[in-house]
Amino acid sequence: MLTDRLPRFSLAHLPTLLEPLAAVSKFLGGPRLLIKRDDQTGLALGGNKTRKLEFLLAEALAQGADTVITAGAAQSNHCRQTAAAAARAGLRCHLVLGGQGTRPLQPPNSTQPLGGQETKPLQPPNGNLLLDEILGAKIHWAGQERRDDRLAEVARQLRAQGYHPYVIPYGGSNPVGAAGYVRAMEELAAQLAAAGERVDHIIFASSSGGTQAGLMVGAKATGFAGQVLGIRIDKNDPRESTFDAAVLKLAQATAAHVGLDKPVTAQDCVINANYTGAGYGIVGKLEREAIDLMARYEGILLDPVYTGRAFGALVDLVCRKKFPRSETVLFWHTGGAPALFAYAADLAK
């Protein structure tokens, strides 16, 4: 495999299962549906970021880092898995989260706040945020600042204090992290070959772009003949083409990083941006119905931000007969179930 030569810090339970969604397929009366269970990667309740973190943590350790820093939303799955990965590797973890808290938060093992007063929500934390704290991460709230600016500020402060931080980009989405999904596609190709299966479409949530970039490169590397289709999670805006360009650029950089000798082109970058609803993290009918359908027919939990939206899109596409009944569609479950608890008010009957 292309990724065998890359440094990797083992974190995930692999390979993740490839299973039929027989009951949902029958209910929808459309194409045959399969699911790839990356919600079961095993690190702190699992998720797709664990695959990326295997390569990112390996680079951090190789560079002599003693601390990792990353950023995300308050209910970031990426931040929760980063905190767990850091704990496994014996590294400190600092998380920059969007939003503004209301009560002081002291850093662990210190009587002085880092860079001024830190804050966190007045209400007890739940979902991913609770897990961040349990895993020992130090939380920094960005408030009115851009998260990237606050991230850079925290990194500077840590260096000034004598630490050696390694900054992980939003979503772990750079060529190093995206290599995790090149490897994932190599894993899937082996599973399909062993089972004598063929897949015509792979559908998944696409937000920071690293998972999609990795799958695009992996598809080229393995000769996958089907379609790799990302469902855009963030709200559409007039610059939507910028996201497509960013994913393509990342995929091309990832191809160079892993040593792929085949070109990755704009034709390989397929993104559906028709299901962003009212915006990022705003739960609507699409997400609620998708979560209910998967739970009640398959006993599988989706999350309200990413997989609920992406699977809802898949269901709608099936209902609109966008896939022939003779085809097989794979839904790549990227995890996120801990966020369900933080969205109880939006999901409760």
> Could you give the CA distance from residue 120 to residue 91 in angstroms, rounded to a whole number?
22
The SS3 call for residue 302 is: coil
Is residue 138 located within the same domain as residue 199?
no
pTM greater than the 0.85 cutoff: yes
Residue with tokens 């973190």: 53
Nearest-CA neighbor of 142 among 156, 152, 132, 128? Answer: 152
CA dihedral 225, 205, 302, 283 (to 10 degrees): -150
Is residue 178 located within the same domain as residue 235?
yes
The tokens for 182 are 């090149």
Question: Residue 187 carries which DSSP code?
Answer: H
Is residue 314 located within the same domain as residue 249?
yes
pLDDT band of 116, cuts 50, 70, 90: very low
Nearest-CA neighbor of 301 among 342, 338, 337? Answer: 337
pLDDT tens digits, one per residue of 173-183: 999 999 999 99
Q: What CATH number should be reported for the domain holding residue 145?
A: 3.40.50.1100
> Position 163: which residue type?
Y
Residue 15, preceding peptide bond in cis (omega within 30° of 0): yes
What b-and-e string marks burial along 318-334, b requiring 16 or more CB atoms within 10 Å of the CB? beeeebeeeebbbbbbb
> Position 251: which residue type?
A
Is residue 139 located within the same domain as residue 190?
no
Is residue 24 located within the same domain as residue 92?
no
Neighbouring residues of 54: CB distance < 8 A, sequence distance ≥ 6: 8, 9, 10, 11, 12, 180
Domain end position, chosen among 172, 195, 229: 172
Is residue 187 located within the same domain as residue 271?
yes
> Could you give the CA distance from residue 95 to residue 209 in angstroms, rounded to a whole number?
20
Is residue 181 located within the same domain as residue 290?
yes
Domain end position, chosen among 172, 187, 204: 172
The alpha carbon of residue 256 and the mean position of all alpha carbons in its chain are separated, in whole angstroms, by: 22
- 240 has a pLDDT exceeding 80: no
The tokens for 330 are 């794979």
pLDDT tens digits, one per residue of 284-329: 999 999 999 999 999 999 999 999 999 999 999 999 999 999 999 9
Is residue 38 located within the same domain as residue 180?
yes
Is residue 72 located within the same domain as residue 215?
no
- 259 has a pLDDT exceeding 90: yes
Is residue 337 located within the same domain as residue 222?
yes
The tokens for 95 are 């998380």
Is residue 152 located within the same domain as residue 269?
no
Q: Where are the alpha helices (DSSP H) in 167-284?
A: 175-195, 210-222, 240-258
Positions annotated as catalytic residues are 76
Q: Which of 31-45, 106-120, 174-188 has the lowest mean pLDDT?
A: 106-120
Domain end position, chosen among 172, 201, 235: 172
Neighbouring residues of 176: CB distance < 8 A, sequence distance ≥ 6: 52, 55, 56, 59, 257
> Any idea what the Cα angle at residue 182 is, between residues 179 and 183, rounded to 5°?
90
Is residue 38 located within the same domain as residue 65?
no
The SS3 call for residue 162 is: coil
> Could you give the CA distance from residue 221 to residue 217 in angstroms, rounded to a whole number?
6
Domain count for the chain:
2
Domain, as residue range, for 12: 2-47+173-347
